[in-house]
Structure 1
Amino acid sequence: MIWNLSICFMSFIFLFLMSILLLIFGFVFIFYDLCYFIEWELLMLNSSSIVMTLIFDWMSLIFMGFVLFISSLVIFYSDEYMHGGYNINRFIILVLMFVLSMMFLIISPNLISILLGWDGLGLVSYCLVIYYQNIKSYNAGMLTALSNRIGDVALLMAIAWMLNFGSWNYIYYIDVFVNSFEMKIIGVLILLAAMTKSAQIPFSSWLPAAMAAPTPVSALVHSSTLVTAGVYLLIRFNNIICGNYLGDLLLLIAGLTMFMAGLGANFEYDLKKIIALSTLSQLGLMMSILSMGYAKLAYFHLLTHALFKALLFMCAGSIIHNMKDSQDIRYMGNLVLHMPLTSICFNVSNLALCGMPFLAGFYSKDLILEVVSLSYLNMFSFFLYFFSTGLTVCYSLRLVYYSMTGDFNCFSLHPLNDEGWTMLRGMLMLMIMAVIGGSMMSWMLFPSPIMICLPVNLKFLTLFVSLFGGYFGYELSKFSLSYDLQSLRYYLMTSFLGSMWFMPMISTYGVNYFPLKLGLEYFKVFDQGWNEDFGGQNIYNSSVEYSKYIQWWQNNDLKIYLIGFMFWIIILFMFMII
């Protein structure tokens, strides 16, 4: 047990110190506008060299610092959350492999080494999703792995197409050949890869399913590692997609993803799935602003979102831990009385998600929405942006209403307490960052003040949409079904909206049911049908009929044997005479 504690604590100390160091380096690099490109020759054979290339600029260093900071606190938190598990060492090693894969992806200017980190994320995420080893975990892990394989294949094809340029170091020529035919094909493949990893429509169904993983893994995956890999890849390849049809396509898909996830979260009762759908909504926001060419803004929201989303998942894990593994928000209530510190962290992260002024989420979300108001944009995309923002406040207030107010709806003799100090320390450190992180990064990334002049109605539109979404969420929380035609319509509407527009059904039942049914029909018609009639069964039936005839011949009268004997004698005499 002492060794278990030490591996968690040592990992926490190492990652935490590395994160502080990388953040300091990142701030120095952004201050002096530095970029280091390192080539490390691994092997030289006859004039052929195998070279590992790394890029260290402010973007990669700050992102690595954030990833390591969140990872260190998640590992520290896991020490208590996974307490009593026989395989905690294996769990910590898997998490460290996960973080290492993300590091490879962040510092790679080369598609080959990006693939190393990309596939590492996919493989280790499968191991972490099936960690609890039950049917639900296995199904979720397979759905996650197969959905991400589509993007992996697209990345491999992009590597093959990059042979046209003579090098896989895209950073050399991405600006020069941006209008070439090959680069357009690479852009389509990179976009497909990013859409699968960041779970945009139609690959969204794996993200809520991946909640089968332990909660610390969810905190890591949904804040700064797996799902952000696609956004980070598109930030690096931003020149290819903005200003052409790829950007317009991504804007539509990301807007619909944001809208769909926001709607779905309002009809969900699983605590972790609500937070997972909020991640999906924020990924849609990042992708949509990225498609408009504002890569720095998308990166800024990526960082601020990582802070409060990790905190939100850690608070959810603490609540689930105390509720004895119940995730249904209808069983919760009055948690603010029984778990005050956890409730404070939970509400701060929720307010940051909604864009409460001067918390982390406000600085990026408000800036994004004001830039959208200032941009040349069609009415449909504008509606998706602001309506989805209202939906965010709507499901957040609904979640707070169910979990924090009213009466506790579970056992009368309940185990709720706030005594898990190891988990609380990790959560309180992240809460401090969720409060000050947005302003700090805003001052560092945008040193000159940004002045956005808008009419009064557009300036206050974000505030109005948020307040209206909060009111609607409160009313939705009080809604109860009555057995009439109206409730039937409501049920039909919620079964569509609450199930992510039937996307999980399409990507599971729709993918495997029809091929299996076709295989069954093929088996009936061919293997058990015509093939049997002309093949095995036909030979067997013919053999039976012939053997019956021979048997009848042999079981007949003695005259047949005598006649046969006479025939043989005649034939023998004929041959003897000849």
Structure 2
Amino acid sequence: MCYIYSRLFMFFSLLLLSFSVYLIILDFVYIIEYIFIIFNSVNITYIILIDWMSMMFMSFVLFISSMVIYYSEEYMNGDLNKNRFILMVIMFVISMMLMIISPNLISILLGWDGLGLVSYCLVIYYQNIKSFSAGMLTALSNRVGDVALLMSIAWMMNYGSWNFMFYLDIMKNDWIMELISYLVVLAAMTKSAQIPFSSWLPAAMAAPTPVSSLVHSSTLVTAGVYLLIRFNYAFSSSLMNFLLFISSMTMFMSGLGANFENDLKKIIALSTLSQLGLMMSILSLGAYKLAFFHLLIHALFKALLFMCAGSIIHSLSNCQDIRCMGGLVKQLPLTCTYFNICNWSLCGIPFMSGFYSKDLIVEFMSMNILNIYIYFIFYISIGLTVAYSFRLTYYSLSGDFNFISMNLLKENNIMLLGMSGLIFIVIISGSVFNWLMFDTLIFICLPILMKFMTLLVIMLGMLFGYELSKFNLVYNLLSKNFYSFFFSSMWNIPILSTLGVNYIPVKMGALLMIFDRGWFEFYGGQNLSLLLKKFTLLQLLSLNHLKIYFLMLLIWIIYLLVQI
């Protein structure tokens, strides 16, 4: 079953990529309108937008999912419900594709809500308390964005139709369109896990690793960024400044948190969050094509990074702690090679695929006239990305093997084939799509120091990550303090998202239970006797009887002595 779907997806992926190149060359956009029903003057239609961007993104989604499904054949081998898992992954991919090709706010809900529902089913796939909690956090965080999208649908009733593509530019100065764009940004912030909705992204790691590979590369988390790319024409300058601030804070917060994390999958999840912040921040600077370019390149190497992590976890009897790894390059040479290549791409090492998009983004930001805060936070976040990537490499690949002596470390052929399908594209994609997507060359003129600033920060980040790993004893001692706990727990956002939301309603519920039970029951019978027991002195004496007895004896002796 896995092989059939994998080959089918691969075939459609190549077909869509060819069609995307054809559309780029001719500069064509097709809008297909399918009429479901005509009743008097009411037309119920389904609209499909076919342009180079939607076709290319669908091609990437299908290619990555074909490799993930092939990889799942071995990863989910012992699972009794493997076919159900594969069908859920396919539903997930179909939901994403429905979202990509919809230029209509009503039809976009098919994909948008489909992603939310199927992601909940996949996160709770391993049925335990942790998975259920993570699934509920994921579902409820995303519902906030769904409500914002429904509200924007209601406000778009003021226009002639829900096809937002026709109104974005022409109605840009209308206050209703501004309100709709604010609601769409809120929806995108929940789906792409920006502050304050960041806590669900690391929690979603409770899902099986193939799901994480798909979710964190090209489907769920990128849906918000893709929606903003489509809506970018309608954004006012105040909204773009707001989005720039939020996304830059998310980028910095997740990069800092990943340096304090020891769970392999959570480190990669936080790196996804950091890259999403980078995409959103460059989008809010006005370069939507650059954001889309980084979205595609990041999707490839992040999918492979998760697949390598899954292979390592699978070999280590499901252990995810990086402190238990070490020296894996001797036992899993090919997996570690792929892992390193993806890490280098993530860091933006020159001439790896990530370098082409990341360097362009940072230089574009440097060329704009912005304040010093944005300039520094971009470079610090890049430095932190390199630091946690090298820390991850140091812990997992070098040194001595720290796991139990009874182990079965081996590379599986099927999993390796799934990963090998991606590695070639990961290496060449940056350069190829750079030439393919940008019809005019981007010329960025900067002073020599600013031009080499990216490379300098990458080198400093490497050094920082290496030193952080080398002095891990000192680091572990330092990590007991409040600051490191605060940074590693994502600035307490998970606590605020869970306890912060439900603590007051639960407390109020306990107070208002009196109305539920009725006055007579509350003030009569059992509760009255409990109140009387609580306030009696005898009850107090009987609780600490020995202490009270000795105290009374002491008072009695003092009284006798005074009398004498």
Name the TM-score, length of structure 1 as normaliser: 0.89
1:38 match: secondary structure: strand
Q: Which residue of 1 aligns with 2:543?
A: none
1:143: Cα distance to partner?
0.1
Matching residue within 503, 512, 521 for 1:513: 503
Task: Name the structure 1 match of 2:112.
Answer: 118
In 2, Cα distance between equivalents of 1:46 and 1:526: 52
Give the secondary structure class of the aligned counterpart of 2:220: coil
AA at the equivalent of 1:165 = Y
Residue pair 1:39, 1:53 contacting (<8 A) in 2 also: yes
Q: Deviations over 1:64-103 (max 9, x none)?
A: 0000000000000000100021111100110000000000
Q: Which moved more, 1:378-387 or 1:531-540?
A: 531-540
1:285 aligned onto 2:278: yes
Give the TM-score taking structure 2 as reference length.
Answer: 0.91
Offset from partner CA, 1:261-320 (integer Å, 9 cap, x none): 000000000000000000000000000000111100000000000000000000000000
* Matching residue of 1:436: 428
Aligned to 1:369: 362
Q: CA deviation at 1:527?
A: 5.9
Match of 1:135 in 2: 129
Shift of 1:517: 2.5
Q: Which runs of 4+ in 1 moved over 3 A?
A: 480-483, 486-490, 525-540
Distance 1:482 1:468, change over 3 A: closer
Aligned amino acid, residue 91 of structure 1: F
For 2:481, the equivalent position in structure 1 comes to 491
Aligned equivalent of 2:259:
266
Residue of structure 1 equivalent to 2:537: none
Residue number in structure 2 paired with 1:461: 453
Give the corresponding residue for 2:371: 378
The 3-state SS of whatever aligns with 2:106 is helix
Of 414, 417, 430, the match for 1:425: 417
Percent identity among equivalent residues? Answer: 61
Aligned to 1:26: 20
Q: CA deviation at 1:493?
A: 1.3
Question: Which of 170, 177, 184 does residue 171 from structure 2 map onto?
Answer: 177
- Equivalent position of 2:74 in the other structure: 80
Could you tell me which of 241, 247, 250 is aligned with 2:240? Answer: 247
Residue 356 of structure 1 deviates from its aligned partner by 1.4
CA–CA separation in structure 2 for the residues paired with 1:217 and 1:537: 52
Q: CA deviation at 1:514?
A: 2.9
Amino acid at match of 2:498: T
SS of 2:296's equivalent?
Answer: helix
1:411 to 390, 404, 421: 404
Distance in 1 between residues matched to 2:65 and 2:372, nearest whole Å: 40
Q: Distance in 2 between matches of 1:174 and 1:370?
A: 28
Q: What's the counterpart of residue 327 of structure 1?
A: 320
* Paired letter, 1:446: F
> 2:259·2:388 contact (CA, 8 Å) conserved in 1?
yes
Shift of 1:482: 5.9
Q: Out of 483, 491, 496, which is 1:501 matched to?
A: 491
The offset of 1:510, in angstroms, is: 1.7
Distance 1:142 1:160 in 2: 27
Which secondary structure state, in structure 2, belongs to the residue aligned with residue 41 of structure 1? strand
Structure 2 gaps, min length 5: 530-564
Q: Which amino acid aligns with 1:320?
A: I
Is the 2:195–2:249 Cα contact (8 Å) retained in structure 1? Answer: yes
Secondary structure at the aligned position of 1:223 is classed as coil
* Larger Rg, first or second structure (1 or 2): 1
Q: Which residue in the other structure is 1:388 paired with?
A: 381
C-alpha deviations, 1:108-148, integer Å up to 9, x for none? 00001111100000000000000011111000000000000
C-alpha contact (below 8 Å) 1:526/1:532 kept by paired residues: no
Q: Report the counterpart of residue 193 of structure 1 in structure 2.
A: 187
The code of the aligned residue for 2:400 comes to D
- Write the distance in 2 (CA, Å) between the matches of 1:283 and 1:185: 24
Cα distance in structure 2, aligned partners of 1:176 and 1:501 = 41
Distance across 2 between alignment mates of 1:87 and 1:416: 26
Select which of 227, 230, 233 maps to 1:236.
230
Equivalent residues, number? 529
Q: How many Å separate the matches in 2 of 1:205 and 1:512?
A: 15
- Could you tell me which residue of structure 2 aligns to residue 104 of structure 1? 98
Q: How does 1:26-45 map to 2 (within 5 A)?
A: 26-45=20-39
Q: Is 2:197 the counterpart of 1:203?
A: yes
Given that residues 479 and 485 in structure 2 are in contact (C-alpha distance below 8 angstroms), is that contact kept between their aligned partners in structure 1? no
Amino acid at match of 2:424: I
